């Protein structure tokens, strides 16, 4: 008879252990879901902040870019002055040629 009691006791403890294991696995799945939701919320919240900062950086020229733009404008102004001077020289030459021909 002791064999029957030992067999039932083992069976009950086995069922109890299986139930506890299932409960723990279920709890683990719930915790994993909660972690995923929290991580996605974190990414969304801080992702928006990062995007806003990035947009602000893109709108505001950096010091290097501003310096390059200034240099480019100076170069364009110099080129325009040179072109204007060349035109004046050409006009002066035409006037001089025209006077000689008279």
Give the pLDDT confidence of 6-50 residue by residue, as tens digits. Answer: 567 787 799 999 999 999 999 999 999 999 999 999 999 888 777
**Which pLDDT does position 2 carry in this prediction?**
47
Which pLDDT score, from 0 to 100, does residue 1 have? 42
Look at residue 99 in the predicted model and tell me its pLDDT. 65
**pLDDT (tens digit, 9 = 90+) per residue, 67-102?**
677 777 777 877 777 788 888 888 887 777 776 655
pTM, 2 dp: 0.40
Block residue for tokens 């035109």: 87
Burial class (CB in 10 A: 0-12, 13-18, 19+), 95: exposed
Cβ–Cβ < 8 Å for 98, 90: no
């Amino acid at each position: 008879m002791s064999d029957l009691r030992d067999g039932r006791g083992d069976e009950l403890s086995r069922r109890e252990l299986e139930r506890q294991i299932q409960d723990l696995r279920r709890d683990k799945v719930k915790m994993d879901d909660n972690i995923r939701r929290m991580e996605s919320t974190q990414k969304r919240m801080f992702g928006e902040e990062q995007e806003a900062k990035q947009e602000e950086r893109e709108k505001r020229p950096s010091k290097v870019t501003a310096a390059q733009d200034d240099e480019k404008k100076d170069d364009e102004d110099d080129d325009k002055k040179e072109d204007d001077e060349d035109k004046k020289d050409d006009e002066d030459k035409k006037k001089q040629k025209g006077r000689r021909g008279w």
